Amino acid sequence: MAYQNLLVSFAEGIARITLNRPDRLNSFTAAMHAEMRQALADLHRRADLRVLILAGAGRGFCAGQDLQDRAVLAGAEAPDLGASIEKNYAPLILALRALPAPVIAKVNGVAAGAGANLALACDLVIAARSASFIQAFCKIGLIPDTGGTLFLPQLVGTARAMGLALLGEKLGAPQAEQWGLIWKCVDDEKLDEEVDALARHFAAAPTKALARTKEAIQAASNRALADQLALEANIQRELGRGEDYREGVAAFMAKRAPRFRGD
């Protein structure tokens, strides 16, 4: 497949997928989702996969859903966000988590909304010191999705998960590491080197044992993840029809502060 929104490569057991819409901070469109489905399906078929590196092109990792695709005129029909999650985001997370080889998120810059939770769905997150994580959903009248309602409390506990989700503030990579949200934060200029070294390590590791390790660790939360993804889709479907969501998206696109009514 010729990819328009991703850079995909494979060499010596190391797969690389780079989200490649840098002028929109690698935010997700339906086309990018379709390409991710294809790329991950191809990797699921490869017996020689030893590790996947998921990265973002340009200055950001991923800004979640492309909100340009969500801007609707007053009076026009609201998008069905539940359907979008069921078709795109939930299968993406499940396919990524089901890869037997380790998946490294290489977070070079901002990871926001679904982009943040996509990173958290990976097995190891290595972020540049200048990178950040933002549960941006509340800024546009939504809840954390893409598994965030499970990953956040699992990783940092309920108190911090609530703070991150309800405030939507930027969490810098050093604090994310301190809180246990991510595996490691490294100096910006060392990010490529560190991630490549880790990938080479995994490419020479006992892949089957690592796959079974992932299987065992994930087993306890697999059911919970499926349930949370379904719950997130249902709540997002409802919120996506609301005035506050419409206003949140309109305000983001117009680069102004939102005027939420609270309903």
Binding stretches for ligand T3D (CB under 6 A): 24-25, 27, 63-68, 70, 81, 84-85, 89, 110, 112-114, 134, 136-137, 139-140, 142, 145, 236, 252
| HEC secondary structure over the chain | CCCCCEEEEEECCEEEEEECCHHHCCCECHHHHHHHHHHHHHHHHCCCCCEEEEEECCCEEECCECHHHHCCCCCCCCCCHHHHHHHHHHHHHHHHHCCCCCEEEEECCEEECHHHHHHHCCCEEEEECCCEEECHHHHHCCCCCCCHHHHHHHHHCHHHHHHHHHHCCEEEHHHHHHHCCCCEEECHHHHHHHHHHHHHHHHCCCHHHHHHHHHHHHHHHHHHHHHHHHHHHHHHHHHHCCHHHHHHHHHHHHCCCCCCCCC
Min CB(71)–ligand T3D separation in Å: 9
Min CB(204)–ligand T3D separation in Å: 36
Min CB(103)–ligand T3D separation in Å: 19
Min CB(184)–ligand T3D separation in Å: 22
**Nearest to ligand T3D by Cβ — which residue?**
64
Of 43 and 63, the one with the shorter C-beta distance to ligand T3D is: 63
Of 105 and 203, the one with the shorter C-beta distance to ligand T3D is: 105
Of 32 and 40, the one with the shorter C-beta distance to ligand T3D is: 32
Of 51 and 138, the one with the shorter C-beta distance to ligand T3D is: 138
Min CB(11)–ligand T3D separation in Å: 31
